[in-house]
Copies of this chain bind each other. A is one copy, B any other.
Amino acid sequence: MTKHFQRELEKIKKKILSLGAMVEERVRMAIKAIEEFDGEVAKKIIFSDHEIDEMEVEVEEECLKVMALHQPVAVDLRFLVAVIKINNDLERIGDQAVNIAQRVKTITKKERFDFVFDYSVMAEKAASMLKMSLDALVNMDDDLAFKVLLLDDEVDEIKEEAYNLIKRAIPENPDNVSYLINLLLISRHLERLADHATNIAEEVIYMIEGEIVRHGKR
């Protein structure tokens, strides 16, 4: 590997990590928006999404440039393809933060209704999954990546719990159906966010082990 190529790879690694940090920040904001019913934070998330979109495009362009110029093989090629896919998932995590923000914005327009499903545990788990999957990428740590896969099941369980609670609350609160459905949808956005973090972790494992762990083959 030439020094120039090595520098380019480092640059890409740094860039995808800044994107990761940016997305993580949005997810933190989304959690704050949910927990504090903060419509203003929600608006900030929505208005700044274009920054993530632009960064995603940059990362992909950079990867394609390096591929064309240095024609990597084996582990380096796999790394670049993984970055392109992880990049994609990060952008979609940003979209989920926006989706959550939109729900919070809708909810906060009306007076606050008493029913509360505490999303803090689920949201924290989803945010940790993102952080762990990015750490796994930086440190090429497949053990850590596997932990993300386990957490995903826990997030799914909480989603089911939210679903059951909200389903039962709806007939008792016919005037707040819309509020309750929005709460339900927040849990689904969190679940999808966690799914994308899982995709990232799987990509990291795949990259390290050169083995397909997707689709539950492990």
Q: A168: nearest residue on chain B (CB-CB)?
A: B177
Residues of B within 8 A of A74 (CB): 68
A214 at interface by CB-CB < 8 Å = yes
Q: B177 to A174, Cβ gap below 8 A?
A: no
In whole Å, how far is A181's beta carbon from the nearest beta carbon of chain B?
6
The verdict on A53 contacting B214 (CB below 8 Å), with A84-B81, A171-B175, A174-B171 known, is: yes
- Within 8 Å by CB of A81, from B57, B64, B177, B181, lies B64
The reply on A167 being an interface residue by CB < 8 A is yes
Chain B residues within 8 Å of A181, by CB: 163, 167, 170, 181, 184
> How far apart are A96's CB and chain B's nearest CB, in angstroms?
12
Chain A contact residues, majority secondary structure: helix
Min distance, Cβ A71 to any Cβ of chain B, angstroms: 4
Can you name the residue of chain B whose Cβ is closest to the Cβ of A215? B53
Given A171-B177, A184-B181, are A212 and B64 also a contact pair (CB < 8 Å)?
no
How distant is the Cα of A198 from the Cα of B50 in the complex, in angstroms? 18
Taking a contact as CB atoms closer than 8 A, the residue among B64, B85, B171, B174 that contacts A77 in the complex is: B64
- With A174-B174, A177-B170 as given contacts, are A78 and B64 in contact (CB-CB < 8 Å)? yes
Q: Which residue of B lies closest to A212 (CB)?
A: B57
Interchain CB contact under 8 A, A215 and B78: no
Say whether A73 faces chain B, with CB atoms less than 8 Å apart. Answer: yes
16 residue pairs bridging A and B, Cβ less than 8 Å apart: A50-B215, A53-B214, A54-B215, A61-B212, A63-B81, A64-B77, A67-B67, A68-B74, A71-B71, A71-B73, A84-B85, A88-B88, A163-B181, A167-B177, A170-B181, A181-B181
Which 9 residue pairs spanning A and B have beta carbons closest together? A171-B174, A53-B215, A71-B71, A68-B73, A170-B177, A57-B212, A167-B177, A167-B178, A68-B77
Contacts A53-B215, A170-B174 known; list 18 others, CB within 8 Å. Answer: A50-B215, A53-B214, A64-B77, A64-B81, A67-B67, A67-B77, A68-B74, A71-B71, A81-B81, A84-B84, A85-B85, A88-B88, A170-B170, A171-B174, A171-B175, A174-B174, A181-B184, A188-B188
